[in-house]
Structure 1
């Protein structure tokens, strides 16, 4: 059976990212590949996780960057231009502890008001795990190495550098939860 939701998500992300931001597109594809490995964990929500994974960074697309905060810009694009599934939009808006970065940017109140975080901890954790275990080039990595790469690329005293260092304990705890859940899956 063809999953039209996943096809739409992939085409939308590709249209927005492939040409202007090929490295970001490579990362998004890698995050989506990581999501496919969590299918047994996320069950009936697997298509939703895949869509969120491939679209999580769509807000970086130059034509969509209104606030400069990609989770908010991407979620608004998906909501306003595509009338996308509310759960998808909320996952994109809140991926990888976006609320903490929103605080650094004085956008937390806006983000929370428009896109409340999902109460499905497994999906939120799974998307964070897929993002934080994928390099900018789309290859698998460990969460700690990815955090170090982000700090190195952006600098420790930048908005992103401060946010990721602040979020590190929560990110590592999330990665550990997902890895434990994966290990507990029947083989």
Structure 2
């Protein structure tokens, strides 16, 4: 039974890595399709659908920004963007959980729960910071669309750490199943 559990865990990890690789392939193929579409540029003075023109008020310089998706971020970029202090604390919980799986199997779930709670604490403090900035009047001269963009970019950043905490918690549950004492 223990061998079956280890094989099941290895299969899940292999399937997850295969799904990630498939996602990377589809992103790269969509980027290649975008690059081939750029060869058919519109006539001068015309703007393609999905483009936005921004004019600098001081210099009068005009730049065109298209709405193509940015290149995929690496894990290191997400780690730093999610707040390296909080992400490091969650990583320490992951390391403690892996050590507990080896030495003290009963603490595996608790280390995963600690990672989950650290992620949610970061999420709540991040939401508090976002609401404090938006509600304080620091953004008085900015349009409501820009305020909404600031809000959603802040929420996107604050969701990174809880997601990482949930992943660590799921790993702790799988490890707990794998190393659970037999009756």
| Fold equivalence (TM over 0.5) | no
* Band the TM-score falls in, shorter-chain normalisation: under 0.3
TM-score w.r.t. structure 1 length?
0.23
TM-score w.r.t. structure 2 length?
0.23
